[in-house]
Structure 1
Amino acid sequence: MTLIDTADDGPTLFLIAGEPSGDALGARLMAAARNLTGDKVRFVGIGGEKMIAEGLVSLFPMGELTLFGVFELLPHLPNLIRRIDQTVSEITRLRPDAVVGIDSPGFTVRVARKVRAASPDIPLIHYVAPTVWAWKPKRAAKYAAIYDHLLAVLPFEPPYFLREGLPCTFVGHSVVEGGAGKGDGTRFRERHGLAPTDRVVAMLPGSRKGEVSRLLPDFRATLEVLRPTHPDLVAVVPTVATVRDRVAAAVADWPVRTLLLEGDADKYDAFDAAEAALAASGTVALELALAGLPTVIAYRLNPVTVALYRRLIRVKYVNLVNLMLDRMLVPELLQQDCRPDRLAAELGRLLDEPEARQMQIDGVAEVARWLGQGGTPPSERAARTILDVIADHRPNDRQAGEQRP
């Protein structure tokens, strides 16, 4: 497939997303860029349903890049290499005003490296800085050798790249553009027939099969410990399609009334109705922070995996809220500490001690501001930065203009 030629009345952005989270980021970025340019912008590249709905002409289905793990990847490796070469060829033919890789470094970095060698005057931008603060710090220098600009989603990330000479702009985390912090607890209680005395706790065991299998038994046992002293507890369990059946089977015999939820709207309403949460480590911790919901973080991995990670990981905390604050605000109970008695003690403290609840609420409010809540949307900051990078490169482009087809 050959994409349409570049626009004459505005910039052309070649966007590359390789997984659903990147597709969502890309779609928001596209909407913001259209708004900033008065709809005088064209999008080509690789993306999923959300980006296509925003007007992307996709070179091939994004699903071909959504591969996880070495064993899943190996059978597809020849096609992946072919798609990398196809993408580079199309970029060098189109000569877009900028190439923006959205996360998915396994594909986007390889494409960028080849484009840099073939067409060094095309601006290369990467959206979502690699977590060099957590592991593999040498990636900062690798990115500096390839890219013209980096868009960071966490406020403490830019210095890691600036010291390598790579311009890096903090734009904010896209989680603030979701519905966390905008839920309606009253609506949730009415929809699910909850009594005024019912005390809601959100239980979030993760979205991967391994996570829910390891954590759900501990979550159930935690409720068993709490039930005698908290007889009015109602557990709400947001889940996703990939693990829904597994979660539904596990919560069917939980010791308190349990509501299985699907969809973001019900989840965010539940956050507003809840008094506390017990959650697997992950992006959901940021959603809970934006919702101002006091939380306990739990996680358990295979001991061999943990032993390997401990040799590589360079951070003190697993929760991004704690990392940003550089202190243990949100309790983290990991591995051998992830036990029902410990989980129940921490969750019970949040339910019973107003001071403990307020301390978390105040702390996560600061994190929410850092992430961009209440300010310019991250997608708009990202789009504006990309347009600025294009503007900065245009004087150089004029010198090379006669060489363009």
Structure 2
Amino acid sequence: MVAGEASGDLLAGLLLQGMRGRWPDLTSFGIGGPAMEGQGFEAWWPSSKLAVRGYVEVLKHYREIIGIRTALRDRLLADPPDVFIGVDAPDFNLDLEADLKARGGKVVHFVCPSIWAWRGKRVEKIRRSCDHVLCIFPFEPELLAKHGIPATYVGHPLANVIPKEPDKDAARVRLGLPPDAEVVTLLPGSRVSEVASLAGRFLQAAELLQRARPQLHFVVPAVPGLRPRIEAAARTAGGLRNLRIVDGHSHAALAACDVALVASGTATLEAALFQRPMVIAYHMNWLTYALMQPRRLQPWIGLPNILCGEFVVPELLQANANPESLAAALLEWFEAPARMVAVREKFRTLHTLLERDTSQRAADAIEKVLSR
């Protein structure tokens, strides 16, 4: 298995949990993180090595990433596993999967690359690389079938682990937050490049927001290893009171908050499953953004908006992701309680749509691939 970054590790850990229920003697190895290791996974390299996003950003780590992929490919070709499962990370996994499949290996890809959002031509590479795709969104198997790619909708694993009625009071006790306070959770990303670009903007926005609502409390769940960067950004922002930076606990932080400011990515879907109003933001290298823009196929980048087919929550990108605009967008939520109720209802419906027995469905699909 190969999972890149924290979100892929989380999904793969949930998948492994179900697979071990089907195959108690399962052994798994490759590239992964702590959630996978908690399921007995042997990580030859940590998933953090692949946690790079964007064309320009990847160039800085290109030689190391290609070296890891070559070494992993050679090792797997020399001693083939029963099945290879690439978890997201399509830029890394699809080429590796194509090499393994060409040599007779059985390949499953978990999380359909977002060909419906951008880079639609990638579908040809998916067909060459995979025996089967496990899809986390219900419309994807039909789209892949049009291109001759076998796929199964397995639901989104997070919809099974995030409660439909989050316990805000318990989460606040766990994080040491006042039960009656207004709380904003800040999620500036899980990659070094994201935190470097967004943490300062998010914390400056928090300081501006606190001027308008002085009693606000703020929580920032820090990915392991990135806390010092967030703390440095907090010192630079200055003047921010009632700030808690915690190690991990992103789900508790989302359960505890009233509104969230979230970097575009899987965390936006987590926030939606916790039924939290949010502002989605992103900022990347200008050249990366310029290269990606022409390949976008939809007006939205945030998963909640894509799945709902409308701008349910605001998205602020690039120059618009400035502290003043972020603070203003967050303040609008607090000033519109009826809007907050309406978006929670939309997100509750979305939760039901994504909730399936993911472990069972995924294991069934993998078993069929193994039996061919």
What is the CA–CA distance in structure 2 between the aligned matches of 1:222 and 1:82, rounded to whole Å? 43
Please, which moves more after superposition, 62-71 or 353-362? 62-71
What is the CA–CA distance in structure 1 between the aligned matches of 2:64 and 2:368, rounded to whole Å? 41
Matched, 1:323 2:309: no
What is the CA–CA distance in structure 1 between the aligned matches of 2:209 and 2:192, rounded to whole Å? 26
Q: Which residue of 2 aligns with 1:30?
A: 16
Matched, 1:83 2:72: yes
Q: Which residue of 2 aligns with 1:118?
A: 103
Map 1:97-176; keep pairs closer than 5 Å: 98-119=83-104, 123-176=106-159
Q: Which residue of 1 aligns with 2:361?
A: 381
Q: Which residue of 1 aligns with 2:246?
A: 261
1:316 CA drift (Å): 1.0
Query: Which AA in structure 2 matches 1:276?
Result: V
Change (3 A) 1:123 1:335: closer
Q: Which residue of 2 aligns with 1:350?
A: 333
Query: Which AA in structure 1 matches 2:361?
Result: R
TM-score normalised over the length of structure 1: 0.78
What is the CA–CA distance in structure 2 between the aligned matches of 1:142 and 1:52, rounded to whole Å? 30
Matched, 1:74 2:58: no
**Unpaired runs of at least 5, structure 2:** 53-57
Is the CA contact (8 Å cut-off) linking 2:6 and 2:48 kept in structure 1?
Answer: no
Highest Rg: 1 or 2? Answer: 1
Query: Which AA in structure 1 matches 2:86?
Result: G
TM-score normalised over the length of structure 2: 0.84
Q: 1:300 aligns with which of 270, 283, 302?
A: 283
Query: Which AA in structure 2 matches 1:312?
Result: R
Deviations 1:303-352 (A, max 9, x none): 33322211222221110010111100011122232234432332122112
Change (3 A) 1:350 1:65: closer
What is the CA–CA distance in structure 2 between the aligned matches of 1:217 and 1:55, rounded to whole Å? 37
Query: Which AA in structure 1 matches 2:365?
Result: T
Deviations 1:188-239 (A, max 9, x none): 4445554454211112222334333433443344334433442221111111
Q: Which residue of 2 aligns with 1:400?
A: none
Is the CA contact (8 Å cut-off) linking 1:183 and 1:268 kept in structure 2?
Answer: no
Secondary structure (helix, strand or coil) at the match of 1:307 reads: helix
Map 1:172-187; keep pairs closer than 5 Å: 172-179=155-162, 184-187=167-170
Map 1:8-27; keep pairs closer than 5 Å: 15-17=1-3, 21-27=7-13
Deviations 1:281-311 (A, max 9, x none): 1211111111111111122233333222112
1:261 CA drift (Å): 1.6
How many equivalent residue pairs?
A: 363
What percentage of aligned pairs have identical amino acids? 31
Is the CA contact (8 Å cut-off) linking 1:299 and 1:338 kept in structure 2?
Answer: yes
Q: Which residue of 2 aligns with 1:402?
A: none
Is the CA contact (8 Å cut-off) linking 2:175 and 2:253 kept in structure 1?
Answer: no
Map 1:203-282; keep pairs closer than 5 Å: 203-252=186-235, 253-264=238-249, 267-282=250-265
- What CA RMSD, in Å, does the superposition of the two structures yield over aligned residues? 3.0
Secondary structure (helix, strand or coil) at the match of 1:62 reads: strand
What is the CA–CA distance in structure 2 between the aligned matches of 1:21 and 1:195, rounded to whole Å? 29
Deviations 1:57-94 (A, max 9, x none): x5x81349934523423257466434313312322xx6
Is the CA contact (8 Å cut-off) linking 2:17 and 2:39 kept in structure 1?
Answer: yes
1:355 CA drift (Å): 1.0
Query: Which AA in structure 2 matches 1:42?
Result: L
What is the CA–CA distance in structure 1 between the aligned matches of 2:219 and 2:84, rounded to whole Å? 42
What is the CA–CA distance in structure 1 between the aligned matches of 2:202 and 2:158, rounded to whole Å? 25
Change (3 A) 1:148 1:79: closer
Query: Which AA in structure 1 matches 2:140?
Result: E
Is the CA contact (8 Å cut-off) linking 1:184 and 1:268 kept in structure 2?
Answer: no
**Unpaired runs of at least 5, structure 1:** 1-14, 394-405
